[in-house]
Amino acid sequence: MNVIQNLVSPNLYYCKCPFDMNSTRIVVHNTANDASARNEIQYMINNHNEVSFHYAVDDKEIVQGIPENRNAWHSGDGGNGVGNRQGIAIEICYSKSGGTRFDAAEVLAAKFIAFKLKEKGWGIAQVTKHQDYSPKYCPHRTLDKGWQRFLNMVQAELNALNGQSKPAVQNGALESYNGFVEITYSGADGIVLHTQASWDDSTAAETVKKGEVFTVVGRQLVDGVYMYKLKSGKWITSAKEYVSFRTELHGSTTQTTQAPTPAKPTCKYGVGTRVCTNTLSNDSAGSKVYKGEWSGKITRVIPGAKFPYLLNNGTGWTNDTGIDTDPNVPR
Ligand SMILES: [Zn+2]
């Protein structure tokens, strides 16, 4: 593996890595930052804080700052702690904001950790996390997404290095699960739908963006994380950092049955307004409707609801941004 070295000066060993080390394990961290691996290492080797780690891994590069035969200060378990004195510290970058950069950094970190395990004759039991040594929720985003999931990634890479094929995706059974999933992730790269219950790039279909809503008809565990099955037959992550799940398409039911509020919200459009879809509406069948693709009338309005307008062709409920009354838009 290609590892870039930017090692701390021996003049700073007293601060960053004072002890010889015979390593017995990997200790995984997340940086809780959005800096690249090069910048994390550069910052670490240039300050005089007793904070240090051997490697930083981002979506493209592995950078080393401390020699593996010296200890580093990263596990919060003190001067004689097993984490600090026997652990090779690996920081996964871009964990503050997450998204595809972080996901790619995790993949590269899994490859690198597998490479280290093979190099040292270790197994998956030697892959530990900061949290194992002190009460800190680190590696935070890797934990949020599933620690066992990450270990599975490392194990699959180790199997590949050992000439074994990657194990088949360990799927649970398809479970009954019904509702709607809304994309909450606002990154420009969007969220990828898959054609099968798989995280593999080879099953990637189209990309969807914040605000889009799809009908969920089931769910299934895939590598330890649930994927939702959509009515279209495609699959999407259930990770709360990217999507939110709800059981109703729109939030109107309780509002219409409760006592009216003093200042009743008004709606921009009324019943009977001729409209066409603008960006998309949220079809009860889970499919998207694009600009100009459909035209019709508003048949019902529920002021104050998240999606206040019911359209007359079964397209479902939408809101101001989902429709257009401009006569020049193709109908
Ligand atoms: Zn940590």
Q: How far is the CA of 29 from the centre of ligand 1 (A)?
A: 4
Percent of the chain with pLDDT over 90: 60
Alpha-carbon span 106 to 177, nearest angstrom: 29
Stronger pLDDT, 287 or 101, i.e. the higher one: 101
Instruction: Give the model's confidence band at 263: pLDDT under 50 very low, under 70 low, under 90 confident, else very high.
Output: very low
Please state, for a pLDDT cut of 70, what percent of the chain lies above it: 82
Q: Which CATH class is domain 175-246?
A: mainly beta
Query: Taking 90 as the threshold, does the pLDDT of residue 33 lie above it?
Result: yes
Give the pLDDT confidence score for residue 237 in this predicted structure.
Answer: 92
Instruction: Give residue 165's pLDDT.
Output: 61
pLDDT confidence of residue 94: 97
Which parts of 202-296 fold into alpha helices (H)?
Answer: 253-257
- Residue 265 CA to residue 140 CA, distance in Å, equals 41
Distance 31 CA to ligand 1 centre (A): 7
Beta-bridge partner residues of 244: 182
Instruction: Assign residue 194 a region (left: φ > 0; alpha: ψ between -120 and 50; beta: otherwise).
Output: beta
Q: Does 246 score more than 70 pLDDT?
A: yes
- Average pLDDT over every residue of 35-62: 97
3-state helix, strand, coil in the chain (%, to 5): 25, 25, 50
Average pLDDT over residues 187-201: 86
Q: How far is the CA of 107 from the centre of ligand 1 (A)?
A: 18
Angle among Cα 113, 128, 158 to the nearest 5 degrees reads 30
Which fold, 3-161? Lysozyme-like (3.40.80)
**What pLDDT is stored for residue 315 in this prediction?**
60
Ligand 1 centroid, distance to 303 Cα (angstroms): 48
Residue 279: what pLDDT? 47
Convert the pLDDT of each residue in 250-262 to its tens digit: 653 333 333 333 4
The structure tokens listed for 97 are: 């904001």
φ and ψ at residue 237, rounded to 5 degrees: -60, 155
Q: 75 CA to middle of ligand 1, Å? A: 6
Domains of the chain, residue spans: 3-161, 175-246, 265-324
Q: Answer with the residue of higher pLDDT: 295 or 219.
A: 219
Instruction: Give kind and range of the element (H or E) at residue 88.
Output: strand 87-92
pLDDT in tens, 71-100: 999 999 999 999 999 999 999 999 999 999
pLDDT over 50 at 190, yes or no: yes
Q: Is 274 left (phi over 0), alpha (psi -120 to 50) or beta?
A: beta
Contact residues for 242 (Cβ-Cβ < 8 A; gap 6+): 183, 184, 185, 191
Residue 268 has a pLDDT of 80
Mean pLDDT of the chain: 85
Model pLDDT, residue 203: 85
